[in-house]
Structure 1
Amino acid sequence: MAYLALVPLVPPAAASAHDASRLLQVVLLAVAALLALPGRGSGELPLPGWLRGSASGGLALSVLAVLASPHRAASAQEFALMAGLAGLALQIGRAASAGAPAWAYASLLAGSGAHLALLTGVYVAALAGNSPLDARLLHLGFDNPRFFNHVQTVAVPVLLGWSVVAPSRLQRRAALAMVSLHFAWLFMDLARASLLALAIAVPWLAWVGAASLWRRLLLCAVGGAAIHAALFMALPAVLGRVWTGQFASAQELGSAHSRDQLLAAAAELIHAHPWLGAGPMHFAALTHPKGAHPHNFYLQWAAEFGLPALLLLLPLLVLPLWRASTVLRQSPANAPPMTAALGAAVLAALVDAAFSGNFVMPVSQVWIAVVYGLLLGSLPSSQRMRRPGPHRLGVALLVALQAMLCMQAWRQWHQDPPRMSASSPTTEAEQRPRPRFWRDGWF
């Protein structure tokens, strides 16, 4: 929770926000793995029985994809990152199975409020000091406004749920205000994928019977639109100021933003390597001028791990949401109060993943792992786990993977700039970076 709340607020030293967040993420995943060792709890990770088959098959295919890849070191690094995120989600699920503590959600509220206050303060200072109004320069803590939008996609439903169940009136009102401010910034950034994802969460919330949540979501969206119009449009106009650099404009609503080229590149990799993929992280080996990932997590997984691995991944992503939907519809009294909000966050993340890199960027990756774990922990015990978790050998292997990832990341951190190896391409002065593991994502 400290990572999610504080990382966007800490100015990176001698590195980009993306690179600093990545290094801290690697440390976080290693700590989570260490806490699963024998003597630190049960020594097992609570993998639900209804996910065990897909997880075991996906793990086996992923190992084969690493072994068959041309650049095994890069593939092993990506595999270790994915394993660490899965381990974090399971650890969160185990910790939350007895009920997620109120301080966990309160810390997310405090971190979100502090970050939005920082962004708004910088904007007001720019207005008052006659500084250029450049939208890209306002998103402190993230190298790209889209990386902030990926976090907002998941944070908005969580904060919305906390606005209903928080123990104090002050927290409930603050959470509702934060959601409205998040929507204002989403409109400011013209975050199409995030807004679509949150819009799709509305009928799901209505379907599972969470009337108070979907109504509040719509009201906050309207309130966010009003704040956006007043704060980012009317106020500069009254002061005679104009935006010198908008991150996105209304004329770009129908633009593909080169996604068609990226998706075509992913399709070529799938066609060439349908069974085991080109290798984990190997989209970043293309040195594609438009990106080091295809902005579609599902095609990315198929291109890098293979189509069979994608078919095994989908149940891992969807089944927890389906189980939560069943509980909410059939026996809502058995569902903890935050279940519907966490389900909406997971659904929004899955929709956003079809259009963006939310499953690639470090802070949004941790957000997604946390909400998946919280959702697993919110399911009734009979739905959570019917058999013991993985053997201690599996936990030891997870720890070993995270130790390897830490050593690799620390070595790569000392490249200038941080990247996979000294021979990895770097971004020219006139180019925008193409992030993947590091801000300079190609290897």
Structure 2
Amino acid sequence: MFAFRDINQGIATVLVSVLAGMSFVSVLFIDLIPTPFGGYAEQRFFLIFVLGLLVLMAVVQCADQADTLLFSFRIVAPTAFLCVGFIVVAFAYRAQSYAWVEPGMFALFFLAPFFTGYWVSQRGVEKTFAAALVYVCVAVCGLYGLASVNVYLFAISGGFTALSDVIPWGFVNVRYWSHIATWCLPLMPLAVLVGPFRHNRMLRLWVILTAGLWWWVLLLTMSRGSLLGISFGAVLSFLLLGRRAMPWLRVVLLSLALGLLFWLVLSILVPFFLAESVQVRGVSLDGSGRWPLFAEAWAMSVEQFPFGMGPQSWLTHEPLTEAYSMVGRLGHPHNMYLLWAAEYGWIVLCLLVVVICQAIIYFFRKRYELKRTGSSEELLMLSAFCASVAGAMFHAGASAVFLAPGSMLVGLFVLAVFWSLVIPNVRLGSCLAPRHIVGGNYRGLLFGVLAIGILMAWLFWVGETLEYFRDMLADLEIYSDVDKRPILPRFWFHGYFPRDS
């Protein structure tokens, strides 16, 4: 039995790593993959599949840990209540079309990484899981960086100097690439600091080159949300971990210096000598039209305080502020927290704050434990994943980091590793009930029923999303051909549907 469980655990770990690799590839190389419905939709469909599979895998893996999982209520409760909060709000609007589509996505997005991280941490394979994700990140991002150089060479050889119009490539909007940069750039240095290949010279060269190229693209596009998010995460990680984070921070600064060199040579000097003019994108200091959106979302959040105006009400509600009515409808307010407050209410946002506070408490406990035991490798992992998650949370205050399918596919696995690093190992003695209350047969039956229930709920949700997808395609013909309006992404790339008229 023990050997079988170990084999099952190994298969699950490999499968999650493969899913992570497929997610990264689908995000960064979607332009090279045949997609009958377009890259945005294909990424959303893949996200739906991955979310369902991860939750089911986590339930199966936790089945023989029922004694700790069921009675460690203080660990499970915050995330469980947050996910239920999205569903409860949707239930109040169940008569509306597609009322379950986005609430189901948000609920599973927070549930899947938490329970994946839980079973990984209880199995004691969190370091392996973290290293695997880091290697996936540097491998796929490295290939993307080299491909970007190829795009650059074609552009510059043709005398094209507006490089930010073609780089980054493979994304319909630079914001979607910047989300990935916020998640991934803090993780890349880990490949030369932890894991079995950290002393490999070729890997060190690959990692520094990859990170340098990504910094170059980031500086080329001057994506403020990503630049500020990564800076915030790096500073926070250094403040929390001090000198223990210095090896990681040194690699970050080295790769940034290389990125600056790439930017100076590839974006300034080479175009200057090969073309008559050089177009360099600057950093805008205004709000890029976000303030009217923020004000509108705030007005929505207090309109039916504290419950919000319902799922996707941002798309269908009558404007509440004059500034937003002059801007015209957009797919989202470029602020995830105000979006959740507007549509799901401040109660759900408060539940999210509880989950964040739980993560902070666990982080400090883990930091204390690792400093006491002197585990430098895990401290470095904690530094990088703390910076990545904190940067993404910061970035989400000015962009749809937790709504765009590409960002969610990458962030899903980063969050899972972060939870696996900070969730405490639960011992039976710390549980709220003795072991004999839940017998082995009852555990199997309980988790079997739970798995079937989750599968049925997931299939229902898939049916809702497919119906929404079909209706969106039908509406798109009117929207783009008759109304002649630009695409405004939301759940689907045509995000304005459903319309009032």
**For the superposition of Structure 1 and Structure 2, which TM-score range results when normalised by the shorter chain?**
0.7 to 0.9
What are the residue-to-residue correspondences of 1:331-350 with 2, within 5 Å? Answer: 331-332=370-371, 333=374, 336=378, 337-350=380-393
Q: 294, 311, 314: which is aligned to 2:333? A: 294
Q: Does 1:441 align with 2:465?
A: no
1:120 aligns with 2:155: no
Q: Provide the residue aligned with 2:111 in structure 1.
A: 87
Aligned in 2, Cα 1:46/1:258: closer, same or farther, shift over 3 Å? farther
Q: 2:218 aligns with which of 186, 190, 196?
A: 186
How far the C-alpha of 1:75 sits from its partner, in A, is 2.9
Q: Tell me which residue corresponds to 1:160.
A: 189
Q: Classify 1:343/1:138 alpha carbon distance in 2 versus 1 (closer, same or farther; 3 Å).
A: same
Distance in structure 1 (CA, Å) of the matches to 2:69 and 2:216: 39
Sequence identity (%):
19
Deviates more, 1:209-218 or 1:75-84: 209-218
Distance 1:230 1:134, change over 3 A: closer
- 1:115/1:404 CA distance change after superposition, 3 Å: farther
Q: Counterpart of 1:361?
A: 404
Contact 1:37 1:43 in 2 (8 A): no
Structure 1 residue 426 and structure 2 residue 461: aligned?
no
Structure 1 residues 404 and 143, CA, compared in 2 at 3 Å: closer, same or farther? farther
CA distance in 2, matches of 1:106, 1:436: 31
Q: Give the distance between the partners of 1:141 and 1:422, measured in 2 at CA.
A: 26
Give the alignment partner of residue 9 of structure 1, picking from 8, 19, 29. 29
Measured on the aligned residues, the alpha-carbon RMSD in Å equals 3.2
Residue of structure 2 in register with 1:222 after alignment? 257
CA contact 1:51–1:315 (8 Å) conserved in 2: no
Q: Deviations over 1:208-253 (max 9, x none)?
A: 1311122322332232122112112221111116567x7xx32x51
Return the match for 1:143 from 172, 193, 204. 172
Tell me the CA shift for residue 42 of structure 1: 4.4
Mapping of 1:54-93 within 5 angstroms? 54-69=78-93, 72-93=96-117
**Structure 1 175/46 Cα, relative in aligned 2: closer, same or farther at 3 Å?**
farther
2:96 and 2:426 map into 1 onto residues whose CA distance is 37
| Distance apart, 1:356 and its partner CA | 0.9
Residues 1:304 and 2:343 aligned together: yes
One-letter code aligned to 1:355: A
Unaligned ranges ≥5, structure 1 = none
**How far 1:121 sits from its partner (Å)?**
1.1
| Partner Cα separation in structure 1 for residue 165 and residue 493 of structure 2 | 16
DSSP 3-state at the match of 1:182: helix
From the superposition, tell whether residues 216 and 173 of structure 1 become closer, same or farther in structure 2 (CA, over 3 Å).
Answer: same
Match of 2:272 among 237, 241, 257: 237
Contact in 1 for aligned 2:23/2:409 (Cα 8 Å): yes
Change (3 A) 1:10 1:56: closer
SS at match of 1:218: helix
Q: Identify the residue that residue 50 of structure 2 maps to in structure 1.
A: 28
* Letter of the 2:479 counterpart: T
Label 1:410 to 1:136 Cα distance change in 2 as closer, same or farther (>3 A). Answer: farther
Most deviating of 186-195 and 214-223:
214-223
1:213/1:341 contact within 8 Å kept: yes
- 2:315 maps to what in 1? 284
The change in CA–CA distance for 1:372 and 1:120 in structure 2 (over 3 A counts) is: same
In structure 2, relative to structure 1, the CA distance for the partners of 1:104 and 1:55 (3 Å cut) is closer
- Farther-moved stretch of structure 1 (188-197 vs 427-436): 427-436
Q: Residues 367-417 of structure 1: CA distance to partner in whole angstroms, max 9, x if unpaired?
A: 2221111011113643799659996355444333322232333344445xx
Q: Which of the pair has more CA radius of gyration? A: 2
Letter in 2 for 1:279: G
After TM superposition, list the pairs within 5 Å mapping 1:321-332 onto structure 2. Answer: 321-329=360-368, 331-332=370-371
Q: Within 5 Å, which residues of 2 pair with 1:315-326?
A: 315-326=354-365
Distance in 1 separating the partners of 2:178 and 2:424: 33
Between stretches 340-349 and 68-77, larger displacement belongs to 68-77
Output the CA distance in 1 between the equivalents of 2:423 and 2:297.
39
